[in-house]
């Protein structure tokens, strides 16, 4: 029989998290700090709207780019949150989670050989999606000494004549790093100078704990060079609804829409109706969740300090990225032993890129009670290693 597979897909590594997931799954009594989604239920008013849309029989396709009503709300929301105006009719596409946005953006923008700059540690899909879109991923390893922000110098050093696109994943999974306006400005200058585009993945934009999130799209001259990805999964605790959106200038969105049209058709209809309610009436719920995350974040930082686990203070998403280099183990060894010996699951930093070596992603999308128990076990483990 002939080989049924494409060489391209066979050459792509499966997500490093998968292996860890399998190990944890066999340990029913393990406490996990390994989750990348909120512990909160979707706000009830949003769920109710989803139920109501089903009761009303809203079980049909929507237009390809999404419900008009939702796109209008997304436009208003982005105007309010990042002060960038997008035309709901031509510049916003409602997608199946933020993930689809990553895929269709790369596929719409890349020709074979085009280089995509991917700062790491970062979410697992930018690199394989670039390869699937026939682009060439170029990793920029971010440094702890810069609090895992991207600097203009690092960006400049990675640019070649083939560079077309920069992925900008802040607030960041897995490090929790954010980039402020002051951090973004010099990066934007380099982007303009070298005539690049930016894919700004802002899925955690609701979850910042110092200043409000700033989008690079809001900086002078950057709107039409940027595609903004956002969605409902993290801020509104709606991961399973699979709903996100991507916004940018019409010249790009109309090409992305073709891919979306042929591959997806439209995002789930009842999720879209529910999301309208999320954008209209959930500021209070989002604020409550943000407050709870922030308290847990402070708790973990405090506990890690007590344990002597070095860690920069992250101000975004719901992750802390402590350094475990002092224990003379790889991240994977550390995580595996922590799981075996104390039944605590945390994801090795290397799952998010090689430069995550020496770090551990600890999620605080857990109740304070769970975190207390997990931190107690982690403390015991660390003490034993030092003994």
Partner 1 sequence: MEEIRKQILKYLEKNSRADLGELAVLLDSDEVTIANELAQMEKEKIICGYHTLIDWDKTGEERVNALIEVSVKPQRDKGFDKTAERICNYPEVTAVYLTSGGYDLIVTVEGKTLMEVSRFVSGKLSPIEDVISTTTHFILKKYKDHGTLMFQKNKSERMLVTP
Q: Which residues bind partner 1 (CB under 8 A)?
A: 15, 17, 20-21, 24-25, 30, 32, 34-37, 39, 123-125, 173, 291, 295, 298-299, 302, 345, 347, 351, 368
The number of C-alpha atoms within 13 Å of 118 and in the hemisphere containing its C-beta is 26
Instruction: Let me know: does 235 contact 286? Beta carbons within 8 Å.
Output: yes
CA-to-CA distance for 241 and 277, rounded, in angstroms?
A: 13
Query: Looking at beta carbons only, is 35 or 152 nearer to partner 1?
Result: 35
Query: Looking at beta carbons only, is 103 or 115 nearer to partner 1?
Result: 103
CA-to-CA distance for 226 and 4, rounded, in angstroms?
A: 38
Omega before residue 171 within 30° of 0, cis: yes
CB of 66 to partner 1, least distance (A): 25
Instruction: Let me know: does 131 contact 12? Beta carbons within 8 Å.
Output: yes
CA-to-CA distance for 167 and 299, rounded, in angstroms?
A: 31
Instruction: Let me know: does 185 contact 214? Beta carbons within 8 Å.
Output: no
Query: Looking at beta carbons only, is 125 or 249 nearer to partner 1?
Result: 125
Distance separating the N- and C-terminal Cα atoms of the chain: 58
Query: Looking at beta carbons only, is 17 or 385 nearer to partner 1?
Result: 17
Other C-beta atoms lying within 10 Å of the C-beta of residue 96: 22
CB of 19 to partner 1, least distance (A): 10
CA-to-CA distance for 272 and 264, rounded, in angstroms?
A: 15
Residues in the chain: 387
CB of 320 to partner 1, least distance (A): 14
Query: Looking at beta carbons only, is 142 or 347 nearer to partner 1?
Result: 347
Query: Looking at beta carbons only, is 152 or 286 nearer to partner 1?
Result: 286
How many angstroms separate the Cα of 327 from the Cα of each of 14, 46, 234, 310, 379?
Answer: 28, 45, 33, 11, 13
CB of 35 to partner 1, least distance (A): 5
Query: Looking at beta carbons only, is 25 or 63 nearer to partner 1?
Result: 25
CB of 30 to partner 1, least distance (A): 7
CB of 28 to partner 1, least distance (A): 9
CB of 160 to partner 1, least distance (A): 29
- The single-letter DSSP state of residue 40 is S
Instruction: Let me know: does 316 contact 208? Beta carbons within 8 Å.
Output: yes
What are the residues whose beta carbons fall under 8 Å from the beta carbon of 134, sequence distance 6 or more? 110, 111, 112, 113, 114
Query: Looking at beta carbons only, is 154 or 303 nearer to partner 1?
Result: 303
CB of 125 to partner 1, least distance (A): 8
Tokens 């109710």 belong to 48
């Amino acid at each position: 029989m002939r080989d049924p597979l494409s060489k391209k897909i066979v050459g792509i590594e499966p997500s490093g998290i998968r292996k860890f997931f399998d190990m944890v799954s066999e340990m029913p009594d393990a406490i996990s700090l390994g989750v990348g989604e909120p512990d909160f239920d979707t706000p009830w008013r949003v769920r109710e709207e989803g139920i109501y849309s089903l009761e009303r029989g809203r079980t049909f396709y929507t237009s390809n780019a999404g419900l008009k009503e939702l796109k209008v709300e997304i436009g208003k929301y982005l105007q309010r949150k990042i002060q960038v105006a997008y035309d709901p009719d031509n510049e916003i596409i409602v997608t199946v989670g933020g993930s689809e946005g990553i895929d269709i953006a790369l596929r719409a923008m890349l020709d074979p050989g085009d280089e995509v700059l991917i700062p790491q540690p970062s979410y697992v899909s930018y690199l394989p999606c670039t390869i699937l879109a026939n682009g060439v991923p170029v990793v920029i390893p971010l440094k702890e000494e810069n609090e895992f922000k991207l600097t203009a110098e690092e960006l400049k050093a990675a640019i070649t004549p083939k560079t077309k696109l920069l992925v900008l994943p802040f607030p960041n999974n897995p490090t929790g790093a954010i980039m402020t306006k002051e951090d973004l400005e010099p990066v934007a200058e380099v982007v303009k100078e070298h005539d690049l585009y930016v894919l700004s993945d802002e899925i955690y934009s609701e979850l910042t704990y110092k200043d409000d999130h700033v989008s690079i799209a809001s900086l002078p001259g950057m709107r039409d060079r940027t595609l903004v990805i956002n969605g409902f999964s993290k801020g509104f605790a709606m991961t399973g609804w699979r709903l996100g959106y991507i916004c940018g200038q019409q010249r790009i969105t109309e090409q992305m829409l073709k891919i979306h049209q042929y591959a997806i058709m439209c995002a789930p209809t009842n999720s879209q109706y529910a999301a309208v309610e999320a954008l209209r009436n959930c500021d209070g719920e989002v604020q409550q969740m943000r407050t709870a995350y922030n308290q847990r974040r402070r708790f973990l930082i405090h506990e890690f300090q007590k344990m002597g686990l070095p860690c920069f203070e992250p101000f975004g998403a719901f992750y802390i990225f402590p350094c475990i280099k002092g224990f003379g183990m790889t991240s994977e060894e550390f995580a595996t032993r922590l799981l075996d010996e104390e039944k605590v699951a945390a994801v090795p930093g290397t799952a998010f890129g090689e430069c995550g070596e020496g770090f551990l992603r600890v999620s605080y999308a857990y109740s304070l009670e769970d975190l207390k128990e997990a931190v107690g076990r982690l403390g015991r483990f660390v003490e034993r290693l030092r003994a």
